[in-house]
Structure 1
Amino acid sequence: MADPAVSFKRDLSEWRIVMVAWRLLALQAADPVVGAGMAEHSTYRAHPWRRVEHTLGSGRRLFYQDAETLRREVARLERAHKRIRGTTPDGRPYDARDAGTRAWVLLTLFECVVAMRRLGGDGYDAVQLEDAYAEFKESVAAFDLPEGELPPTAKDLPAYFARYARERLEFTEAARYLMGDLLREAPRPRRLWFLGDAGWRVVRALAARVVTELTVADLPAVVRERFGLVRTRRGALLSFLLHRGAGALVRLLPDRLRYRSPEERRPTGRHRPHRRDTRGSRLDRFFREVLDQTGDGFITVHDLRAMAHNVCWQLELDEAAEARVYAAFDGWWEQLRTVMDANGDGKVSREEFVAATVAGCDRDGAYLEQGLLPALGAVFTAADADGSGFLEFDEYRTVFGGPRVHPVELSHGFRQLDTDGDGRITREEFLCGFTEFFTARTDSASGTQLLGRA
């Protein structure tokens, strides 16, 4: 019988899971299929915090919620992974539905929870470990993995990890970037607005050194050996002090502070000061903060599909609704490619986007109706969960909220669109607000502040 004091699902919701989150991403990115998918389809470079939140949030939905939530999450992951396939630069095909890769990704989540407790000084004993693994396997049974993909018992895990590391793992470009430059380049989370750009650069540099040292020190020895990484004495000491300190602290906390509820709302705080935008600067900001999902300075089809993916992810749409959103965003990309990709390389730069959009809006009043507005119309329809023809604030927050959107700015954006002030947004108000954002020459129109007070 399972020890009532031990629960894998509950341990996954403990706040110190963030201490092994980077380790989790590195282990997953080291699988060549995951690494290839991240390189071409993921937005982790431009939105690392969203990537972490999606990974941990998906884990909580898989293991910490009811059977219906689990079913929806598995179906959503299946649809997302179906679109992640292609060929690596060296000619190897990859497909996110590969059974071995899927098993590895799931097992790394379990292994990181086990590592979190072991490093914190409160590791599972042999019986607890088997009970936690049985609980884990019960949840992931919904993925219907082929027989034999998951080790039968927890005591078989060390051999599985050693074999997989030696036979499958590679120090992929995605893993290298996660372990090296990503944190040195990461954008400032909005909740740290008070640091300012200069303060964030200092904090970011320090955090990059600490997280890199900690991650290398905490990786399984077989993985460090595979990648040629060295666990320094400084890293080992840092790992011991941070994990043991956190482990001692959480054991003193009441459950309401120790564990994070999946429904917990993000903390609030002050918004950044207002700064007026011209039309060109608004479009420039829209490119950087919205369109360039991969953070490489260009728009490609993958950026638009990443936006569609994020909408579908937030709304938990069914397959038919997802297909409509993706089709609308593919249509938007076709317009951008046709109008702006002069050399046919499949990329649109920021300068090309701003210049072509300004020229298009000046030249043709129906310019936005050829790509942007159909995509936004699909978003509105998908977000209107009850089919009322209006977006209530909760529906708006579901699709436009996120870890980098301050609640004050989210409320401000809603009010900008709700021009008659009745507490709900019509389809006409929704599309009109975005039209003003792109076309207004001054900042007096309400729609020009949809991205907040920059």
Structure 2
Amino acid sequence: MTDTGGKEPGDAGGGPGADRLFGPDSQFNAFFDDPRWAPAIVRATVLEAAHPQIGAALIDNSTFVAHPWRRLRNTVVSLQRMFGPDDQVRRREAARLNRLHARLNGTDAHDRPYDAMDPVVRAWVVATLFESGVTMCRLSGQPLEPAAVERLYAEFQAYLTALDGDARHLPPTVREFWPYFDRMVAEELENTEAMRVILYRLFDHLPAPPLLHGVPTLWAAGRALAGPLLGAITVASLPEPFRRRAGLPELPGAQSLMQGTYLGAGLARFLPAGWIRTDAIAALLTLSPDGDDPRSRSMGALVDRMKRAGALVRLITPLPPEPGPGRAADARRSAEEFFAEVLDQTGDGFVDWPDLAAMARELAGRLDLDEPAETRLYDAFAGWWRELQAALDTDGDGRVSCREYAEAVPSLAGPALIRVAEVLFDVTDADGDERVDAHEYRALFRRAFRRDPGDTGGTDGTYTRTAFVRDFLAFMAGRARATPYDPLFADA
């Protein structure tokens, strides 16, 4: 295989051979809807998080603990864009990812610097995806042919080239890749906090996807069984030298369970085409239960029937009480709930800049913003963070605790938050006509525009600036539930 390290960025996206490396004929595309990718991606994520720089960036900035389903959907969409056939889409997504990663830097708990743009670190992320793809085939008893391994490696090199402009931090050939991978595992990886969170906290506390919020007891019961098994399967699949050095426990029978999982997932590949689609599953998991998508209504009806079917189910999951006097308060969150569900995006128990940056990142991703609109949005959220910090950080530790927030019980609608609402309206109003129409509304909220004209300020079925800003501030200050902003910021 030839070295891709000297390619220009355009070679990966639109030069000769690009159709072979990306798009429907690529090796990665053949894997994309493969059920074996589910445990393999978890395995790759653990190997990424074990790198001290990546682990620190995840702990400080990522929403994968508090909003894992949202993170899953965003990852799937990004991979589709990067490995799809459209070179312009790939270039746009690469630019977006680079802007996102350029904002992720700092120091870890041991005062070691991390930078998400470090080319060595970015190469390791790609390396874990490639190695886990090869490993999932081997563990399922269907190892890739050498030519397929070469092709898959070329595709991931091209992926890194599309991001960084070259792939020089990956070995030029597959033969040289394996010593590199073994050296990284032996010398660079650590038992990081982020890795432990993924293995032992994330699965055990995984929040229900939005459409299953109505059956919390059933979800908790299933999670209590599946969580430890998923953790054990992932640990058993990791390289043995790292398991030993990191002191990861291996349960009796875990190896057999892990191999059985990969074998079973491999057999699912023989289901009729279209039965398993990764993007469809990820979208279904993140659907809002009150959205206008037909799948949302169908799933809502199914959950409703589950809650009413049989005496046992009724005992486990009681029917919700009928609305009546005194129930209006249930439409509002307490200060503690609002802090945990909306403000604390990273799930670490505090609010600081990474939490508000995560909000800006989600909004920019939904609207697919370019520069400078994306920067305007981030700048507005940065101003809001400075306002919050000045008003609420009473102990001067640079972050806001739930206690500090609850004791102040602030009306968050200060000048900086108003600026956030104004900028959000501007970037949502793509055509600049001072109205958010049905198409623009769906781009932001992923649901149809179904509101009374009197509520939106426009008599032509559009959302005026005044009404948009008013509703955003009411959500942030009033802590109301069941608004369009609720699934935007609060859903897992």
Q: TM-score band (shorter)?
A: 0.7 to 0.9
Aligned position for 1:315: 367
- Number of residue pairs matched by the alignment: 435
Q: State how far apart, in whole Å, the 1-side matches of 2:253 and 2:195 are.
A: 22
Residue 94 of structure 1 aligns to a residue whose secondary structure is strand
- How far is 1:173 from its partner? 0.8
Letter in 2 for 1:157: F
Aligned position for 1:388: 433
Cα deviations by residue, 1:191-211 (Å, 9 ceiling, x for unpaired): 223422x32222222121111
Tell me whether 1:52 sits opposite 2:87 in the alignment. Answer: no
Letter in 2 for 1:383: T
Aligned position for 1:350: 402
Aligned position for 2:129: 109
- How far is 1:33 from its partner? 0.7
Q: State how far apart, in whole Å, the 2-side matches of 1:103 and 1:411 are.
A: 42
Q: When the two structures are superposed, what TM-score results if normalisation uses the length of structure 2?
A: 0.78
Aligned position for 1:31: 51
Distance 1:333 1:413, change over 3 A: farther
Residue 467 of structure 2 aligns to a residue whose secondary structure is helix
Residue 22 of structure 1 aligns to a residue whose secondary structure is helix
Residue 114 of structure 2 aligns to a residue whose secondary structure is strand
Distance 1:416 1:12, change over 3 A: farther
Aligned position for 2:63: 43
Aligned position for 1:22: 42
Q: State how far apart, in whole Å, the 2-side matches of 1:114 and 1:319 are.
A: 37
Contact 1:301 1:346 in 2 (8 A): no
Distance 1:85 1:55, change over 3 A: same
Aligned position for 1:368: 413
Distance 1:193 1:91, change over 3 A: closer
Extract unaligned runs of 5+ from structure 1.
Answer: 362-366, 402-406
| Residues 8-17 or 215-224, more deviating | 8-17
Tell me whether 1:174 sits opposite 2:212 in the alignment. Answer: no
Extract unaligned runs of 5+ from structure 2.
Answer: 1-16, 285-294, 305-319
Distance 1:415 1:101, change over 3 A: farther
Tell me whether 1:425 sits opposite 2:444 in the alignment. Answer: no
| Residues 378-387 or 391-400, more deviating | 391-400
- How far is 1:324 from its partner? 0.6
Cα deviations by residue, 1:100-157 (Å, 9 ceiling, x for unpaired): 1000111212222223333333331111111222233233321235563112122333
Residue 345 of structure 1 aligns to a residue whose secondary structure is coil
Letter in 1 for 2:270: R
Q: State how far apart, in whole Å, the 2-side matches of 1:330 and 1:154 are.
A: 44
The 5 A counterparts of 1:38-117 are 38-117=58-137
Identity %: 36
Distance 1:230 1:118, change over 3 A: same
Q: What is the RMSD of the two structures over their aligned residues, measured on CA atoms?
A: 3.4
Contact 1:332 1:371 in 2 (8 A): yes
Aligned position for 1:203: 222
Tell me whether 1:248 sits opposite 2:267 in the alignment. Answer: yes
Aligned position for 2:389: 337
Contact 1:413 1:449 in 2 (8 A): no
Letter in 2 for 1:242: T
Q: State how far apart, in whole Å, the 1-side matches of 2:418 and 2:450 are.
A: 21
Aligned position for 2:275: 257
Q: State how far apart, in whole Å, the 1-side matches of 2:36 and 2:204 are.
A: 22
Contact 2:457 2:464 in 1 (8 A): no
Tell me whether 1:296 sits opposite 2:348 in the alignment. Answer: yes
| Residues 322-331 or 278-287, more deviating | 278-287
Contact 1:416 1:450 in 2 (8 A): no
Distance 1:234 1:393, change over 3 A: farther
Contact 1:291 1:304 in 2 (8 A): yes
| Residues 156-165 or 111-120, more deviating | 111-120
Q: State how far apart, in whole Å, the 1-side matches of 2:443 and 2:484 are.
A: 19
Cα deviations by residue, 1:283-341 (Å, 9 ceiling, x for unpaired): 54432222111112321122111211222222232231121111100111111112222
Q: State how far apart, in whole Å, the 1-side matches of 2:166 and 2:395 are.
A: 46
Contact 2:41 2:129 in 1 (8 A): no
Contact 1:434 1:447 in 2 (8 A): no
Q: State how far apart, in whole Å, the 1-side matches of 2:50 and 2:119 are.
A: 16
Letter in 2 for 1:396: Y
- How far is 1:71 from its partner? 0.7
Aligned position for 1:379: 424
Distance 1:304 1:372, change over 3 A: same
Tell me whether 1:435 sits opposite 2:473 in the alignment. Answer: yes
Residue 281 of structure 1 aligns to a residue whose secondary structure is coil
Q: State how far apart, in whole Å, the 2-side matches of 1:413 and 1:21 are.
A: 40
- How far is 1:412 from its partner? 6.9
- How far is 1:278 from its partner? 6.2
- How far is 1:281 from its partner? 2.5
Q: When the two structures are superposed, what TM-score results if normalisation uses the length of structure 1?
A: 0.84
Match of 1:219 among 215, 218, 238: 238
Q: State how far apart, in whole Å, the 1-side matches of 2:425 and 2:60 are.
A: 27
Contact 2:73 2:282 in 1 (8 A): no
Cα deviations by residue, 1:208-264 (Å, 9 ceiling, x for unpaired): 11110110122233432342335445222222222212211212322x224445898
